[in-house]
A and B are shown apart, each in its own frame.
Chain A
Amino acid sequence: MTPEEFTSTYRQVLPQITKYLVRRVSPSDVEDLASRIFEIAWTKRSEAPKGFELPWLYRIAGFVVANHRRSQKAKENFLILFRPRDSAPSAEDIALSDLSLSEAWVKLTPAERQVISLSSFEGLDNADSARVLEISTNAFALRLSKAKAKLRGLLS
């Protein structure tokens, strides 16, 4: 893949990647992390699944966001390093719109927040979400249903 082809291929997903990052990190970090994501994508471009570039990017972005958060929080509290990876939007950001949803959101596990985010925020269908998480579509569907059921329970 030439640089021109790379730019052509990924130009169309820039808005989605922008939103993905905006949901998860401070605005001042969006561009830096996006650069990181696309540098990795360029480095590993031969492994990008044709036709599924966006889920593949989301997967890379998940790594980058989780590590970014860890590196930020580790400066304050090293115990964060022992916690599960979490790349979902934060409860604080959700609280800007819906405080009760935020309170429920924080009670979900990182994995539950992740599946709901991919579906409801990123708007991926189950197949693409499953590709991000590297699980079967059925497994994702079950996981999503379970997570939503728990969220509904927390909200009720």
Chain B
Amino acid sequence: MNTPDELDARLRKADPANKAKTEPLSAEILAAASKSKLRLGLTQRFELLSAKARGFALGGLVSGTAAILAVAIVVNPIQTPLIQLAASYQGPSNGSGSMSEASDDKMMSMPFFSYDYVAGPNLSNEGGSGQIYKLVRTGTPESILQKVSRLFDVQGSVKKFPDFSEANPGYFFGESDDPWGIDNQNPIVSVWWSGTASWYYSNPSDSSISSSCSSMDAEGFCEEWIEPVSTPELLPSKSEAIAKALEVFNATGLAVTESDLRVDMSEWGVSVSAAMAVDNQPTSIEWYIGWGSDGEISYAQGHSVVAQAVGTYNTISPVQAMDRLDQWIWYGSPPSYLYEKYPAIYSDMSVRNEPLVDPEVSETEVTAEPIEPSPSETASAVPEPTETEPAPVEPQVVTLTIVRAESALLGIWDAAGDVWLVPGWIMFNDEGWWSTVISLIEGIIALPDPGMFDEEPLPAEDSSVGN
């Protein structure tokens, strides 16, 4: 069952629609829809259009910027934008950078809420300035692959991905000519010569999460499975994992110490990660290493870039940044520690729960009441449609008070496929989650012409681990 044809055939055979008895929908449904008075609020319309932007307001994983709306006080306008944002995501998805996957997971959903943002009394009204950094790729694809391959003892040679192109500059190192591992059980190292030159080591021989079959039926399908058993005794100890992570990270350009590492251990595996710091600030550029339950290193990820200071630019205050909170174009990719310290929640819930509380916000600062729609509220938010005229659907309006803001370096992609770190604010609200806002004054970042499906802000690296 390892060839593409066999897998496709098996998937098609298992298509749940094959067994469905449902009749095709009637065209009447279209006529009814065209009579619909459904109205999407501005926030809904925007967020439905800009799927990935959903995550931004929820502690966004992605970055995106552009200068469309003049909302900030322009302290020091410049004639030519420094950064031209890209019109579509250009990052890798071959495992060397998985931002978009994480983004898709968490961002594509239609909201049932719209947000009114209110500045808390302690929010600063002082602007300032911040350094912009361009992440400049170092080395060559070949040198990166060879260096990483030596670290993991990978055998083979440097090759281009089969679909290599100028816009898709993927290289890999391994024995097989097929980097996607149709029948490949050998480890490979890949690198994406764009953005942060992210590299990825993958060892597919780890079969630790596979179930095994004890008996097959006549068609070759498993009748009885043997449940996988964890083997924690094979895993590295925490100190062993840290030592190996430090060895790999430092050898590949990430200067970190043990205190910079995040370690996650379970009976099924161990992973260690660390963020690249620039000017003593953590960024969204992350290194990872992970062990499967067989005790072997199953993946590792890093980058080959240095941060090049471009200059200091004026920034707006948190109060001024309030106006950008509902404009996805101003969001950037925050450092990953935020996700652990302040778990982001989704605002597109159909049912809202007790709000999270920012541990750094005192009780007196938390002014909003928990929002739990009563049946009557729910009914008013989503009225029952009648047969003749579906009732309008209005999002529930939620007021969020921004209680404090922290400065951070946020990641964004430009049109040339480069990643930048720009000053921004992490805006914490009274429900305990956060959004990011680029704090540069207007005119420094230029928005590309919006395309049919290219209206999204562009992701930079995030904390997700490629599979």
Q: Which residues of A contact B (CB under 8 A)?
A: 3, 6-7, 10-11, 14-15, 17-19, 22-24, 27, 30-31, 34-35, 38-44, 47, 49, 52, 59-60, 62-64, 66-67, 70-71, 74-75, 78, 81-82, 84-87, 89-90, 93-94, 96-104, 107, 109-112, 114, 116, 120-121, 131, 133-136, 138-143, 145-156
Can you give 18 A-B contacts (C-beta < 8 A)? A15-B24, A24-B16, A30-B22, A42-B34, A43-B36, A70-B350, A85-B105, A96-B16, A97-B19, A98-B10, A98-B221, A121-B17, A134-B89, A138-B163, A138-B165, A138-B168, A139-B91, A142-B94
CB contacts (< 8 Å) of B204 on chain A: these are 149, 153
Q: Which residue of A lies closest to B6 (CB)?
A: A152
Tell me the interface secondary structure of chain B in the complex: loop
5 shortest A-B CB distances, which residue pairs?
A: A71-B350, A84-B105, A3-B34, A38-B33, A93-B16
Complex-state Cα separation, A142 to B10, whole angstroms: 21
- Count chain A CB atoms within 10 A of each CB in B16, B89, B349 and give the residue with the most: B16
Tell me the interface secondary structure of chain A in the complex: helix
Complex-state Cα separation, A98 to B221, whole angstroms: 7
- Count chain A CB atoms within 10 A of each CB in B31, B225, B385, B467 and give the residue with the most: B467
CB contacts (< 8 Å) of B211 on chain A: these are 100, 103-104
CB contacts (< 8 Å) of B151 on chain A: these are none
The interface bits of chain B over 25-43 (1 if a CB of A lies within 8 angstroms of the residue's CB, else 0) are: 1110111111110111000
B452 within 8 Å of A by Cβ?
Answer: yes
Structural contact, B29 and A81, CB atoms closer than 8 A: no
Structural contact, B350 and A74, CB atoms closer than 8 A: yes
Structural contact, A59 and B33, CB atoms closer than 8 A: no
Indicate whether A44 sits within 8 Å of B48 (C-beta atoms), given known contacts A84-B105, A85-B107: yes
Among A100, A148, A156, which residue has its beta carbon within 8 angstroms of that of B4? A148
CB contacts (< 8 Å) of B48 on chain A: these are 40, 44, 60, 63
B101 within 8 Å of A by Cβ?
Answer: yes
Complex-state Cα separation, A103 to B228, whole angstroms: 12
Structural contact, A3 and B31, CB atoms closer than 8 A: yes
B1 within 8 Å of A by Cβ?
Answer: yes
CB contacts (< 8 Å) of A75 on chain B: these are 351
